[in-house]
Amino acid sequence: MSRRVVFRWGGKHPEGAVAFQAGSVSLERDGRTVRADYSRDGGWITLRVGDDVHRVAVARDARGLWVSWRGRTFLVVPEGRDGGPRGAADAPDEIRAPMTGRVVSITAAGGAAVREGDLLLTIEAMKMEFKLTAPEDGSVLEVACAEGDRVELGQLLVRLKPAADPEAEA
């Protein structure tokens, strides 16, 4: 069975459909469908798309399912749950912990401008480091952790305000 969802990140709210069947998942968006085999291990999902293997952190809360992959965090919300998409001005990016661990360094500062790919902070877990980067250009609204803090999977770490879209203002 397919379920309509809204993906939220960077003030964007594309819609799509997700369908799960015994060990496989398909995602349809913008007329394209991607199918993957998956397995779950606690807060982690391993996706296999052809020869590519992706390890994705997931955490559920009252708002929906948080998915962290390749340094970006997305919120997946069942369509209609929250009354539809919000405007970009009130939809900040939320960078959440992709794993339980310890914050080893923070390079982001409240009010600072950031560019897509800029390092925001680094988390360490089981002697491995995970670098979290800005998903797009914008500014840091809030840093919700400190160096040395222990953080839990899905915990809010940094809130970003996406840069204004010049095309939307024209």
**For residue 162, what is the domain's CATH number?**
2.40.50.100
The percentage of residues in the chain with a pLDDT greater than 70, rounded to a whole number, is: 79
Q: How many CA atoms lie within 13 A of 150 on its CB side?
A: 1
Q: What's the domain range around 161?
A: 88-169
Q: Is residue 83 part of a domain?
A: no
> Predicted confidence band at 14 (pLDDT cuts at 50, 70, 90)?
confident
Is residue 44's pLDDT more than 60? yes
Report yes or no on 15 lying in a domain: yes
Q: What's the total number of domains in the chain? A: 2
The pTM score is 0.54
pLDDT for res 127: 82
User: What is each CA distance from 167 to 54, 103, 159, in whole angstroms?
Assistant: 33, 37, 23
Q: pLDDT-derived band of residue 92, with 50, 70 and 90 as boundaries? A: low
Q: Based on the fold, state whether residues 70 and 109 are members of the same structural domain.
A: no
d(CA 38, CA 47): 5
Rounded to the nearest integer, the mean pLDDT of the chain is 79
Q: For residue range 136-149, list pLDDT tens digits in order.
A: 788 999 999 999 99
What pLDDT, on a 0 to 100 scale, did the predictor assign at position 62? 65
In this predicted structure, the answer to whether residue 132 has a pLDDT above a threshold of 80 is yes
Q: Are residues 27 and 92 in the same domain?
A: no
In angstroms, the CA 124 to CA 160 distance is 22
Q: In the numeric block, which tokens belong to residue 40?
A: 């779950």
Q: Which of 16-25, 107-116, 140-149 has the lowest mean pLDDT?
A: 16-25
